[in-house]
Amino acid sequence: MKPVRKAVLPVAGFGTRVLPATKAVPKEMLTVFDRPALQYVVDEAREAGIEHFVFVTGRGKQAIEDYFDKAFELETTLEAKKKDAILAEVRAAALPPGAASFTRQQAALGLGHAVLCARDMIGDEPFAVLLPDVIVNGKGGSCLKQMVDAYNEVGGNIIAVDEVPQERVNQYGVIDPVTAGDAGPLVKMKGMVEKPPIDKAPSRLKITGRYILQPQVFDLLATQTPGAGGEIQLTDAMQRLMSSQDFHAFKYAGQDYDCGDKLLYLEAFAAMALAHPELGAKAKAVLEGVLKKG
Ligand code: G1P
């Protein structure tokens, strides 16, 4: 079985739900406490052993490429000023030489189309997809690390899922599990559907935005017709792939935070501040203080 070495990060979206903040700054670069949202997602993937990152970008997203590059002037200045701690953090953010590729999605045709844009860079091997709108605080290993561990046992295709309140099922991809309550984290599925009407959703298990897929999905994406919202949906291509390949849903341990809308972004920001290893306790006092001030 080939290992999962590469990841696709679709970062072409406009960030419409968080405008005007995203008018001149890519939404993936918005700060979530002390680092850009995208840094959490890249770190999650690195922890899972990902060696190569394919960013599917669009116009106005150059900041992403700069962020993961070496910042020569900045590093030289910090070095001269002996700001060692901050220099180490700056260096840790960059990706190693040759570990990042960038390609542009030329039109906003949907997530499935964005993933298809990475086809040549991925080639003929299994790969991960991480949607950077979602930060997952994994318990006992990052979400993708947990998935890669499961993949090394069962192979095939694996998608992370978690429960969402019934009134929000129409905002996500939703899976149709074979049985209502599986014992372990791996769940067998009969199908999946993108953004179902609330009363037609097959379950409350939403697709989190973390995937391990086999490269045959690209053939299906290439012929995929538009689905929900008139977009080429990854969920629709995966549903088709299910007829010829093994698919598991995976209930990861941890909590996801969606940064895609203003209030959820606030929640993600507070949660990451509280989870910070050194500053968490102080952040809690600050947040409590804000609430008291009213
Ligand atoms: C995408 C996927 C959907 C998934 C969601 C997770 O939707 O298409 O299946 O549940 O991400 O955030 P989007 O948020 O791009 O509409």
Which CATH code is given to the segment(s) 6-293?
A: 3.90.550.10
The three-class DSSP label of residue 165 is coil
Query: How confident is the model at residue 228, as a pLDDT?
Result: 96
Q: CA–CA distance from 47 to each of 41, 42, 116, 132, 149 (Å)?
A: 10, 9, 25, 16, 11
Looking at residue 22, the DSSP 8-state letter turns out to be T
Q: Is 235 in the pocket of ligand 1 (CB under 6 A)?
A: yes
- For residue range 37-64, what is the model confidence (pLDDT) as tens digits? 999 999 999 999 999 999 999 998 999 9
CA 145/CA 271 separation, integer angstroms: 21
Which among 172, 174, 257 is the best mutation to test ligand 1's pocket, defined by most ligand atoms within 8 Å of the CB?
Answer: 172
Query: How confident is the model at residue 179, as a pLDDT?
Result: 80
Q: Is 173 in the pocket of ligand 1 (CB under 6 A)?
A: yes
Q: Is 172 in the pocket of ligand 1 (CB under 6 A)?
A: yes
Q: Please tell me the pTM assigned to this model.
A: 0.95
Q: Is 214 in the pocket of ligand 1 (CB under 6 A)?
A: no
- For residue range 237-253, what is the model confidence (pLDDT) as tens digits? 999 999 999 999 999 99
Query: How confident is the model at residue 272, as a pLDDT?
Result: 96
Q: CA–CA distance from 222 to each of 103, 114, 210, 283 (Å)?
A: 17, 11, 21, 47
Q: Using the mean position of ligand 1's atoms as its centre, give its distance from the Cα of residue 202 in Å.
A: 16
> Do the Cβ atoms of 133 and 260 come closer than 8 Å?
yes
Domain regions of the chain by residue span: 6-293
Query: How confident is the model at residue 85, as a pLDDT?
Result: 92
Q: What are phi and psi of 184, to 5 degrees?
A: -85, -175
Q: Is 207 in the pocket of ligand 1 (CB under 6 A)?
A: yes
CA 47/CA 43 separation, integer angstroms: 6
